[in-house]
Amino acid sequence: QITLKESGPTLVKPTQTLTLTCTFSGFSLSTSGVGVGWVRQPPGKALEWLAFIYWDDDERYSPSLRSRLTITKDTPKNQVVLTMTNMDPVDMATYYCVRRLNWGSIDYWGQGTLVTVSS
Amino acid sequence: QPVLTQPPSASASLGASVTLTCTLSSGYSNSKVDWFQQRPRMGPRFLMRVGTGDIVGSKGEGIPDRFSVLGSGLNRYLTINNIQEEDEGDYHCGADHGTGINFVWVFGGGTKLTVL
């Protein structure tokens, strides 16, 4: 059974850095073709892709957010970490951890974690 | 990069059928699109991928046969037959494009399906 679960702060202040952790099970980031990433969804709005990291350490970022994002992996711990710098109230959203397989579909999603940005 | 356009809302009666549309921007008629279902207050789940014809690969885990897809031209369709109350929610389409530093993954705006 494949599961992904997001963890991190529910509230951050403007200008702070957000750090989110995805802990997954049922697959390994050491397997060829496997990628894990992040997608966010502001309340009542559309989904927005943020980043992927792959089994071979390849990283991909949303062009509009590239300068603020870093994605890393800890393969033995089955974890992926996303950091987003200089948080702003417009970054308030539910952040989802996702799996992507063999450069294909996003086939599994976590339950999401709501992050509020407020002073 | 492609732009995916979805009607903001759709409705269908219990037991009826509905077809949702995701339209790719011009020049992307060969793109594959993923469909996702998001029930109220839940995270999205993968339904299936569609290209220029039928489904690409396999359906997501536990997706019933009532769900099917078709691709034609710039349109990617998701059809739900014998609609159930549990089908109410938002339906999103998404697609990847490019390689290397030019890679992007884009989503449509989503369609809210109401079951009457």
Residues of chain B contacting A48 with CB distance shorter than 8 Å: 107
Nearest chain A Cα to B106, which residue? A49
Nearest chain A Cα to B95, which residue? A105
Around Cβ B62, how many Cβ atoms within 10 Å?
6
Tokens standing for residue A25 = 């099970």
Residue B56 Cα distances to A99, B14, B108, angstroms = 17, 28, 19
Task: Please compute, for residue B64, the number of CA atoms within 13 A of its CA located in the half-sphere on the CB side.
Answer: 9
CB contact under 8 Å between B107 and A109, yes or no, is no
Tokens standing for residue A88 = 């702003």
Nearest chain A Cα to B90, which residue? A46
Structure-token match 């792959």, residue found: A54
Average pLDDT score over chain B: 96
CB contact under 8 Å between A47 and B49, yes or no, is no
| Interatomic CA distance for residues A25 and A5, integer angstroms | 9
pLDDT at residue A101, rounded to an integer: 86
CB contact under 8 Å between B105 and A103, yes or no, is no
B106 touches chain A (CB under 8 A): yes
Q: Dump the DSSP string for A68-103.
A: GEEEEEETTTTEEEEEE-S--GGG-EEEEEEEEETT
Residue B9 φ/ψ, nearest 5 degrees: -150, 160
pLDDT at residue A102, rounded to an integer: 77
For residues B19-29, give the mean pLDDT. 96
Closest CA to A58 of B104, B94, B101: B101
pLDDT at residue B101, rounded to an integer: 86
Cβ contacts of B61 within 8 Å, gap of 6 or more: B46
**Of B101, B103, B106, which to mutate for an interface test with A (greatest number of A Cβ within 10 Å)?**
B103
pLDDT digits (tens, 9 = 90+) for A35-58: 999 999 999 999 999 999 999 999
How far A75 CA sits from the closest chain B CA (Å)? Answer: 22
Question: Confidence class of residue B113 from pLDDT cuts 50, 70 and 90?
Answer: very high
Tokens standing for residue B86 = 């549990």
For chain B positions 15-44, those within 8 Å of chain A (CB to CB) are 34, 36, 42-44
- CB nearest to B110's CB, from A46, A104, A111: A46
Closest CA to A102 of A52, A50, A65, A41: A52
pLDDT digits (tens, 9 = 90+) for B92-105: 999 999 888 889 99
Residues of chain A contacting B92 with CB distance shorter than 8 Å: 46-47
Residue A31: helix, strand or coil by DSSP? coil
